[in-house]
A and B are shown apart, each in its own frame.
Chain A
Amino acid sequence: MTLAATLVPLQAVAFALVALGAPVVVLTRDPLRQALVNGVYGVSLVCLFVVLQAPDPALSMLVVSAVGYPLVILAAVARVRAERRGRAPREAAGKQDDSE
């Protein structure tokens, strides 16, 4: 089978996975779990972009869904939980003394 002939079923599968992943992300209500599901959805989007012959957006989506989104979502969840508990989060940095 030539590459061109295999690409069309691959594209159909990639589109189907993305179409299935989006409602799953939305239906996950807990933000912490949703961050993880969003990461998996990001990987499925990367597969779709690669199959659509777009390596640059695929690289973007890969680093963003591995580094960018978990960073901001988990940091927000951590701060909300810490504020709920009414005390500072662990390892709260501060302006350390300059002599350190």
Chain B
Amino acid sequence: MSYLPYAVAAWICLVGIAGIATSRNLIHLAVCLTVTQSSSYVLLLSVGYVKHGVAPIFKGTKLGTPAVDPVVQALTLTDIVVSVAVVALILALALDAHRLSGKVDPDGLADVSG
């Protein structure tokens, strides 16, 4: 149990990378990229967890109760929202490639000319 969370994060990362490498569709590739990104969130939040800690919000809980790490939560929450825009950029590139070549297959894009 003590190393399970990190193993899960590593497993998700490897699964996502395998999905990206074997993808036949650029949109499927973008979603596999989001799966890989989620592995980093799982890792960050697992590293910051304090045993028997509460959430680091002190409205209602007394100051001084042991709480989990707020720094990794700050990193994670901004990253989740920003990754939507980055995936949108990747999908816009995929749409542009499809408009120019008629294919969404990453392997078929190699001979696009012009």
Contacts and interface: CB of A to CB of B under 8 A. Distances in A.
Interface in B5-28: 5, 8, 11-12, 15-16, 18-19, 24-25, 27-28
Given A15-B8, A31-B28, A53-B68, A22 B35 contact: yes
Interface residues of B, number: 50
Given A25-B32, A31-B28, A54-B68, A64 B16 contact: no
Interface residues of A, number: 42
Nearest to B44: A57
Contact of B49 (A22, A29, A45, A52): A52
B35 A41 contact: yes
A76 interface: yes
A29 B31 contact: no
Given A53-B55, A57-B77, A31 B27 contact: yes
A68 B81 contact: yes
Contacts of B87: 69, 72
A72 B41 CA distance: 21
Chain A to chain B: the 10 pairs with minimum beta-carbon distance, closest first: A26-B19, A68-B84, A31-B27, A60-B80, A76-B91, A57-B76, A60-B77, A22-B12, A72-B88, A53-B55
Given A26-B18, A69-B87, 6 more contacts: A29-B25, A54-B45, A54-B76, A64-B84, A69-B84, A77-B27
